[in-house]
Structure 1
Amino acid sequence: MVHTCVVAGCRNRRTPGTTLSFYRFPRDPERKQRWIAAVNREGWVPNDGSRLCSTHFVSGKQVKNPRSPDYVPSVFITVSSAEMKEPGAFEPLDKQEAQVEAANALLFLQGQGRSLVGEHGQTQAREEEEEEAGDEGSASSSASSDGDDDENDDLELASDSKRGKFAQRSSDALPLNFEDILKALKRENQSLRESAEKMSLSETSLKNDAEKVKFYTGLPNYFVLETVMWLLAPHMDGMKNARLTKFQQLLLTLMRLRLDLRNQDLAYRFGVKVGTVTRTVHRMVNIMSSTLVPTAVFWPSRAELRKNLPAALRSAHPDCAVIIDCFTVPFEEPVSRTNQQQTALLLTPPSVHQGAGTSSSNILKYLIGVAPQGVVTFVSRGVLGSVSDKNLAEGCGFLCKLLPGDVVLANRDLDIGESVAARGALFQAAGEGGGGALLMDTCSPEAVSVHRHVERVISMVKQRYAMLTGPVESPFTAASERCTSSLSTFDKIVQVACALNNLCISAAPLE
């Protein structure tokens, strides 16, 4: 449908190729009445097909902000249709007045200063009234004296002079004021952007701030975080999340592990729903468990162990394969007896199934192995705290890693000596007595240093990722229905935490 502008004297039409916009009259009664008054056609009422072209607005388009000058059309210049041009080629008849209007529009939006255009309009109105009154007086009195004519001429000259001075003063002062306001707004905008960027949780805000990376993720710097992102990104393509980028999904998960924040807290921080946080954490933990853990947590070969064995153990224990310990994590809520029995049956051999899991203790126990170099090489799945160390070691697959002749050191007596000996390996624990090389009163200072170093590595995993200190929420302890290994989400979290710890700088010097 071809629309023609309803303003008297304006012949702009909606034709192919035009850049003009044509606007309906507003539905709001008050604003619609103001538009009708601006069009100034006596007795005329717009209909559904009535349109107003964009040349009648200061900025070339209508604005719905009541504080904007373009809330109501205000550009009405009586020119022929041939002279009506599109906004890009429109040239005002009075350039000084256009400058005043543009500057006043900016001042009006910012709520600063007085409306200079309003003053200018009032001045013009008063002058026009004076001129009209003068014209009527001269028409009604044909016998006016020459002195009166001279007086009228003087008044007109004074009025012209006054208007010229006002226009000159406005054109001289406003551009300077406009530039000052523009510069102030740019500075304020830049300051707000920098402030918002510092407070945001984005790649840019973390890129040059190693302390921020360490605080939120536990990783030593952005380079390590970027490496982890690079490893995981190809496996995140199937995760459709319109509100969070891949980086934000990883950061959210690491913050959950690192700071043990509640899901509601993370939902507020990232501007998403709690359900989105829950799904994101579970999916990211599954991806890291299947991708990052095999890469960073693995049992080294005997040749690699001997090649990188610390000097403190080369003479006393050249065949040391691993130093082990256990740690526990409490539950937030009691688990049902059925879950207790299922967990115990999964992690204990058939010979000890009977009676397992009958305890009501709500503690998860894990067996962790650390290479002499300070790298976590093994993490078991979690069992109830009532399960013995022997059953834990025999049911978690740790013994299968040992080779005949391997030496297994421990920070305490774990009562697994017989099980280790059955694999042809040797088990030695601190405080064991006899030939135990880790006795604090008989071992060398170098061996004690290595022993304490491994203690720091084991404790640092829990310190670096506060979620491992518990208490654990019950949804994380349920075994995944789709996972054939029957690992719970929290078991995967423990393994992921160990993998991330291996990517960090060692807890203490080995030499």
Structure 2
Amino acid sequence: MQFMNEIPKRSKNRSCLPNCAINFTNCRITIDCTDVFCAVPRQSMKNQRLTYSSYKHRNSFKGLVGVAPNGVLTYASMLYPGSISDKNIVKHCGILTQLESGDLILADKGFLISDIVPNGVSVNIPPFLSTPRFTAEQIQQTKSIARARIHVERAIRRIKGFKILSFIPEPLFDCSSIIFRTACALTNLQYPLIREVSQFYIDVDAPVV
């Protein structure tokens, strides 16, 4: 079952670009990964090791999500074992095949993926501190990126609000990716993350004409 796996073109994003993304008119998607805790696999030591997240100190699955500049959640990968790196998820989930020259990806510092994206695709992450303090330009750049990419974190909070994703028991392992993607899709039925783009949504309370 495949859904939540096609991202809109830049032209589509530009048609409803919010003010927070005005400096990133060529942004195709903002990405981040999230962990979903799971039961310890009982039958396989290998799977126990693969699902153990050294960062979370628990067994988990990990998925990549992406939002358009207007805050709509447009992409959700399948779930991977919790030990996998963010970079490897990006490399193997298939999202790179949809990107085109001129596209921009916004991401957090952990996404060092510039060497694996297609030619002509840019990756914009907050600058690393290589001097005693950030320059004024770096501070402004960090703030600008943060304003644009905070909405993927807000989308993840909504996804995690579904109780079924608080813990995946072993009997649900085989359908965990479908559960994850369904939760991601359902978040788009909630009120828009960015108020100024609500004008592009259908008012469900309005009378049907």
User: TM-score higher than 0.5 here?
Assistant: yes
Q: Name the structure 1 match of 2:72.
A: 375
* Structure 2 residue corresponding to 1:389, chosen from 52, 77, 86: 86
For the 8 Å contact 2:66–2:152, the answer to whether it is kept is no
2:168 matched to 1:493? Answer: no
CA change 1:358–1:331 in 2 (3 A) is closer
Q: Name the structure 1 match of 2:19.
A: 311
**Could you tell me how far apart the structure 2 residues matched to 1:323 and 1:302 are?**
12
Q: Deviation per CA, 1:240-285, whole angstroms, max 9, x where unpaired?
A: xxxxxxxxxxxxxxxxxxxxxxxxxxxxxxxxxxxxxxxxxxxxxx
* Structure 1 residue corresponding to 2:32, chosen from 325, 332, 336: 325
* Structure with greater strand share of residues: 2
How far 1:431 moved relative to its partner? Answer: 4.2
1:89-168 to 2 correspondences below 5 Å: none
How far 1:502 moved relative to its partner? Answer: 1.0
CA change 1:509–1:339 in 2 (3 A) is farther
Q: Deviation per CA, 1:322-364, whole angstroms, max 9, x where unpaired?
A: 1100001121232543873xxxxxxxxxxxxxxxx95461211
1:354-369 to 2 correspondences below 5 Å: 359=50, 361=52, 362-369=59-66
1:312-461 to 2 correspondences below 5 Å: 312-314=20-22, 316-337=23-44, 340=47, 359=50, 361=52, 362-420=59-117, 422-432=118-128, 441-443=139-141, 448-461=146-159
Aligned length: 185
- Cα RMSD between the aligned structures? 2.8
For the 8 Å contact 2:51–2:81, the answer to whether it is kept is no
How far 1:405 moved relative to its partner? Answer: 1.1
For the 8 Å contact 1:374–1:506, the answer to whether it is kept is yes
**Could you tell me how far apart the structure 2 residues matched to 1:298 and 1:360 are?**
27
Structure of larger gyration radius: 1
Gaps of 5+ in 1: 1-288, 341-356, 479-488
SS of 2:66's partner is strand
Calculate percent identity across the aligned residue pairs: 29
For the 8 Å contact 1:319–1:407, the answer to whether it is kept is yes
- Give the structure, 1 or 2, with the largest relative contact order (CA under 8 Å, sep 6 or more): 2
* Structure with greater helix share of residues: 1
How far 1:510 moved relative to its partner? Answer: 5.0
SS of 2:195's partner is coil
TM-score by length of 1: 0.33
Gaps of 5+ in 2: 53-58, 131-136, 198-209
**Could you tell me how far apart the structure 2 residues matched to 1:385 and 1:306 are?**
34
* Structure 1 residue corresponding to 2:172, chosen from 454, 467, 476: 476
**Could you tell me how far apart the structure 1 residues matched to 2:37 and 2:116 are?**
27
CA change 1:377–1:433 in 2 (3 A) is farther
Paired letter, 2:32: D
**Could you tell me how far apart the structure 1 residues matched to 2:33 and 2:91 are?**
14
CA change 1:301–1:451 in 2 (3 A) is closer
